A and B are shown apart, each in its own frame.
Chain A
Amino acid sequence: MSSTFLNKELPIILIFATGVIMIASYFVSAPEIYLDPLASNLSQAASLVAAYATILGIVTLAIIHINHVVKRTKGQWIYSIVALALALLMIVVGFIGELGTHPYFIWLYQYPLIALDTTIYSLLAFYIVSAAFRAFKVRSVEALILVVAGIFVMLMNAPVGAAIWSGFPTIGNWIMSVPNSSGFRGFIIGAAIGAIAIGLRVLLGKEKGVLGRS
């Protein structure tokens, strides 16, 4: 088998066949040719490939950090030791007893990990404030409309809004359910049509990035 076939044509054939099966399984019921089980198995295969890719990623990550430690990279190697030690700890504790059920593993997951996750998420509050501060500088008519709409929606959500004037929640709701919703719908329709076009380009092997080509 030529390398051109293996590297260029075979991936396109596989993408096309898989894509057609997955699309057909959504629209067609065909128990005779086992369409549903076939699509379900393909979907599971994708999850398996992704799981293997995660292992590849973790190995790559470990290599990067081990290199930092070995080379004593300034300002990095100590953090690399911490990252490697914690990753190893999670893996080892996770394998004790039944997979991922040991109380130590659950504690490590629920307290340090979830707390760190939430901390990063909470940073958004500050980012939103700084972004909103810039967005609310009135430099044009559009910016003025944005500010006015923003004020109504904020006062709709804040309890004090209704206390100041009962019209704030009414107008805020109207902004969200009429102009905002219609804009969103137009946006979603456009994006869905774009996804159909890119879908066909992928199925036909015309979209180069998908195959890792430039």
Chain B
Amino acid sequence: MAIGGTMQLIAGRVFGAIFLLISFLIVYFFMTRAVKGSVPKVRKMAGLEAIPESIGRAAETGRPVHYTPGTAGFSGAAAGFAAQTFAGLSVLTHVSRLTARYKVPLYVTLAYGEHIPLVESILRESYNLEGRPEAVATETKILYFPIATSNAPYASGVLGLFERIKPASNIMIGPFYFEALAIAEQGFIEGAMQIAGTAMTYQIPFFVVACDYTLIGEEIFAAGAVVSQDKPLLGSIAGQDIIKIITIALLLGGFILQNLGVDFLSLLKF
């Protein structure tokens, strides 16, 4: 489909482009609507509600909190999971403010070097906002366990760390691979209250089994909005729901038409 000059939409991807554009417009509409005052009510998520409790428990027991925003970088093949890392970083803003408030040591473990400056900046700003800028040097630790041929170096680094620090709370939100179960089980062995969330399909069951609370799939993308209570972000969740309704309508319509002999899938591949 020509747009102008030699510029054209790539055949087979036109429906995708239209769907993405409509999705962006819907989300943007609800974001601006929320800014004007129409803020949607978002249901409570048990996993997020439990974060203050788990950090409070760490304060009571005098043991630290462990946090990780997942094990995918921002480039290469893993870049497709960057949205989950962003979600993990958003929740870190909330967690680090709570650890600063309750004076609880916070360990953030990272698998990729490019996460370090972002996490440093988040921790610095959180402790500043809580009026304790000096505590960021003494109460927080960023530990980098670089990923080499597989995620094993990161996994072994975190397993060893758990043995040494015995965290009272283990919060893991972001993309994970096989290390998800290893870390969550070690956290269980150490007696940590565990809150995990990921959109990696194969790791969800492990988190459900090994952790006290699990944020499943899309919940991690809404988590940042819920913890910040930022109006435009909350509005975007309402937009998400509208897109979901459209998608379900397309699925149902496709199911009916396909069974009536109309090749609905081919209609979308223009």
Question: A residues engaging B (CB < 8 A)?
Answer: 23, 26-33, 43, 46-47, 49-50, 52-58, 60-61, 64, 109, 113-114, 116-121, 123-124, 127-128, 130-132, 134-135, 184, 187-191, 193-202, 204, 206-214
Q: Which 3 A-B pairs have the closest CB atoms?
A: A212-B121, A57-B113, A209-B89
Judged by DSSP, the binding face of B is: helix
Partner of A214, one of B73, B129, B236: B129
Is the beta-carbon distance between A121 and B150 smaller than 8 angstroms?
yes
Is the beta-carbon distance between A208 and B7 smaller than 8 angstroms?
no
Is the beta-carbon distance between A196 and B122 smaller than 8 angstroms?
no
Q: In the complex, what residues of B have CB within 8 A of residue A187's CB? A: 201, 204, 216-217
Q: For the complex, is B112 an interface residue (Cβ under 8 Å from A)?
A: yes
Is the beta-carbon distance between A132 and B114 smaller than 8 angstroms?
no
Task: Knowing A193-B243, A208-B93, say if A200 contacts B182 (CB, 8 Å).
Answer: no
Q: How many Å lie between the Cα of A50 and that of B17 in the bound state?
A: 29
Is the beta-carbon distance between A197 and B240 smaller than 8 angstroms?
yes
Is the beta-carbon distance between B8 and A29 smaller than 8 angstroms?
yes
The closest CB in chain A to the CB of B5 belongs to: A32
Task: Knowing A195-B83, A207-B233, A209-B122, say if A124 contacts B217 (CB, 8 Å).
Answer: no
Interface residues of B in 70-86 (CB under 8 A from A): 73-76, 79, 83-84, 86
Partner of A60, one of B121, B144, B185: B144
Question: B residues engaging A (CB < 8 A)?
Answer: 3, 5-10, 13-14, 16-17, 20, 23-24, 27-28, 31, 73-76, 79, 83-84, 86-93, 96-97, 110, 112-114, 116-122, 125-126, 129, 143-144, 146, 148-150, 152-153, 155-156, 178, 181-182, 184-186, 199, 201, 204, 206, 208-210, 216-222, 224-225, 228, 230, 232-233, 236-237, 239-240, 243-244, 247
Q: In the complex, what residues of A have CB within 8 A of residue B110's CB? A: 57
The closest CB in chain A to the CB of B13 belongs to: A27
Q: In the complex, what residues of A have CB within 8 A of residue B9's CB? A: 27-29
Task: Knowing A193-B240, A197-B221, A201-B233, say if A113 contacts B13 (CB, 8 Å).
Answer: no
Is the beta-carbon distance between A131 and B209 smaller than 8 angstroms?
yes
Is the beta-carbon distance between B75 and A49 smaller than 8 angstroms?
yes
Q: How many Å lie between the Cα of A193 and that of B199 in the bound state?
A: 12
Task: Knowing A50-B112, A117-B150, say if A198 contacts B75 (CB, 8 Å).
Answer: no
Q: How many Å lie between the Cα of A184 and that of B54 in the bound state?
A: 30
Q: How far is the CB of B45 from chain A (nearest CB, A)?
A: 13
Q: How many Å lie between the Cα of A61 and that of B116 in the bound state?
A: 11
Q: In the complex, what residues of B have CB within 8 A of residue A114's CB? A: 149
Q: In the complex, what residues of A have CB within 8 A of residue B208's CB? A: 135
Partner of B125, one of A23, A52, A199, A214: A214
Task: Knowing A28-B3, A121-B152, say if A194 contacts B113 (CB, 8 Å).
Answer: no
Q: How many Å lie between the Cα of A51 and that of B122 in the bound state?
A: 22
7 contacts between A and B (CB under 8 A): A30-B6, A56-B117, A131-B210, A194-B199, A200-B236, A212-B118, A214-B125
